[in-house]
Chains A and B, each alone.
Chain A
Amino acid sequence: MNALDSRPGPSPLLQVKGVTLQYRTEQHRVTATYRVSFDVYAADRFVVLGPSGCGKSTLLKAVGGYMAPTEGEVRLKGLAVRTPGPDRMFVFQEFDQLLPWKTVKQNVMFALQASGKLRGKAAEAQAMRYIDKVNLTKFANSYPHTLSGGMKQRVAIARALAMEPDILLMDEPFAALDALTRRKMQDELLQLWADTRFTVLFVTHSIPEAVLIGNRILLLSPHPGQVKGELNSDGNDPVDPNSGVKLSDRIHNILFADRIEEQEVVPHG
């Protein structure tokens, strides 16, 4: 704690401290992440990047309060996270995260009302304000099954943002979209961030996406996920003055080194 207190500037919003996550399958106990630590500050666009199998989604679930760490802890505003709650709104990858029996507006209002944050007219006004922010005002009364994938994800983002959570948790939200739509959604997310300055913890396996979205990128190694480092990004894939290598290439090299080790290990194992 002393080291944290002596650090200049604001205190972190979200602290992940030495988190080891394990889940059980039929036969095995699998370690998803091993002693992962990082801090997220307010208005961060904090990206967790790693190859598949590095436990990044599991890590996000732990931050969401859906699973308890075997070791270490997650603290939001200094308080330990134990259960899921509306102060950490999730945006999932799957399109079925919208309630199919509710219209776009009702979906956004649902989160507000179910959590008891707002009621009646106030909830409706708040919902419409955020639906407008994601340019879906025309579709406010449509049912989710009539929307395209990109539109569904926008509704999910509006639903999460309307809650004005302490932190937005996004689990590869654009991974199921086609390339053109994904690019558009990334720009829209940055635009929204410029608008409202929310804090987001963003999980992805795409290096270009991490470089574009994040201001801070956490690199995880696979099997189990361990922190390989944290890099800064300005969204324009900056060249590192020391090595003269572009950020995306540096990340690629760091993650690619793993692949070779892995290939060497597998035949012996």
Chain B
Amino acid sequence: MAEMRAAVTRLPVPAPPVRPEYLQEVVAGRDIGVVQRPLGFWQRLANRGWLRKAFILLVIAVAWQLYARQLNNPLLVPTFSDTLEAFWSGIASGDIPQKVSNSVLLLLKGYALGLSLALCLTALAMMFQLGNDLLETLTSAFNPLPAIALLPLALIWFGLGDVSIIFVLVHSVLWAVALNTHSGFRSVSTTLRMVGRNCGLRGIPFIVKILIPAAFPSILTGLKIGWAFAWRTLIAAELVFGVSSGKGGLGWYIYENKNMLDIPAVFAGLFTVILIGLSVENLIFRNIEAATVRRWGMQS
């Protein structure tokens, strides 16, 4: 301390100048107006998320086309234009729409059932210690188990039909959604829980009115993962045992065309799967996000 003071006196820093005081009127905020500069045309374009993503897809399509052209082996990799052509003709013949609706209907059934089961399990886990232990044990046991591995068993139990597929779909959705919902519930802040209990909420109303909306970002993640898992499982199941009750889905479409060496149609089938995945993510989930978690400021 003493050393520092000594150093200060030794340094030849002049005292700051003495300046006169002054006061002035400020311009009222509303008189200033909005100070802003409009963004340029390209900047505004670059701000559109869908445009940037469309650009990425375009680049991939062009690269695909160029590579397939250069390879020149339609049995291995058909060109992008051939795939599109097969896709259009599949749609025109009503083949692809039929297969898509078969697959999607089945998927929705399994998804809905999986979601309701996941909700019941997590609600139990939040209300009872034993339910919590049950959920944790089951998720850690079954989450790593690929749903498709249960298909042979499902075939023995439920036979060749929709029920078998729904069974494996439920398995693929249930654990992913339950895991995310549960971890979302547990990360709800103590303050919010206390607010809920302060208002006299307990049991199911507490879960519905406090935990579910507060954990919605995690739940939404679970829904997305569950959807992707279900989609994969469905296509795989259709590939493995093909036609269920006489009408095949997209997986069967891919398998069938592979057997007939109609490779562009195989690619068209894959293309459809991707297209549905993209549109569910960008149309449905994105809008749910915008209307909920982003509107509430829980996610930027």
> Chain A nearest CB: distance from B220 CB in Å?
13
Q: Is B76 an interface residue (CB 8 A)?
A: no
Question: Chain B's nearest CB lies how many Å from the CB of A107?
Answer: 9
Interface size class of B (residues with CB under 8 A): 20 to 34
How would residues 176 to 198 of chain B score, 1 for a CB under 8 Å from any chain A CB and 0 otherwise?
00000000000001011011111
Known A-B contacts A114-B205, A145-B297; A97 and B200 likewise in contact (beta carbons under 8 Å): no
Give the contact stretch, choosing among A83-91, A236-244, A253-261. Answer: A83-91
Q: Which residue of A64, A83, A97 contacts B192 across the interface (Cβ within 8 Å)?
A: A97
Which of the 9-residue segments B136-144, B208-216, B267-275 touches chain A?
Answer: B208-216
Q: Tell yes or no: A116 within 8 A of B by CB.
A: yes
Chain A residues with CB below 8 A from B198, complex form: 64, 84-86, 88-90, 111
Residues of A within 8 A of B (CB): 64, 66, 83-86, 88-90, 92, 94, 96-97, 99-101, 110-111, 114-116, 143-146
Which residues from A are CB-within-8-Å of B194? 64, 66, 84, 90, 92
Closest Cβ neighbor of B196 among chain A residues: A114
**Least Cβ–Cβ distance between A154 and chain B, in angstroms:** 16
A115 to B200, CA, bound (A): 5
In the assembled complex, which residues on chain A have CB atoms less than 8 Å from the CB atom of B196?
114
For the complex, give the distance between the alpha carbons of A128 and B194 in Å.
24
Given contacts A86-B198, A145-B296, A145-B298, 5 further A-B contacts (CB under 8 A): A88-B198, A89-B198, A97-B191, A115-B200, A145-B297
Say yes or no: A101 contacts B213, CB within 8 Å.
yes
**Chain B contact residues, majority secondary structure:** helix
Interface membership of B244, Cβ < 8 A:
no
A-B residue pairs in contact (CB < 8 Å), sample of 27: A64-B194, A64-B198, A83-B197, A84-B194, A85-B198, A85-B200, A86-B200, A92-B191, A94-B189, A96-B192, A97-B192, A99-B192, A99-B210, A99-B213, A99-B214, A100-B214, A100-B297, A100-B298, A101-B298, A110-B209, A111-B199, A114-B199, A114-B201, A116-B200, A143-B295, A145-B297, A146-B297
The answer on a CB contact under 8 Å between B191 and A144 is: no
Residues of B within 8 A of A92 (CB): 191, 194-195
Which of B209, B216, B292 is the most central at the interface, judged by chain A CB atoms within 10 Å of its CB?
B209
Binding site for A on B (CB under 8 A): 189, 191-192, 194-201, 205, 209-210, 213-214, 216, 292, 295-298
Residues from chain B with Cβ under 8 Å of A89 in the complex = 198
Docked complex Cα distance between A100 and B210 (Å):
10
Task: Report the minimal beta-carbon distance from A116 to chain B, rounded to whole angstroms.
Answer: 7
| A101 and B199 contacting across the interface, CB-CB below 8 Å | no
Bound-state Cα–Cα, A111 to B191, Å: 15
- Complex Cα distance, B197 from A86, in Å, reads 9
A116 to B205, CA, bound (A): 12
Q: How far is the CB of B282 from chain A (nearest CB, A)?
A: 23
Residues in chain B near residue A86, CB distance under 8 A: 198-200
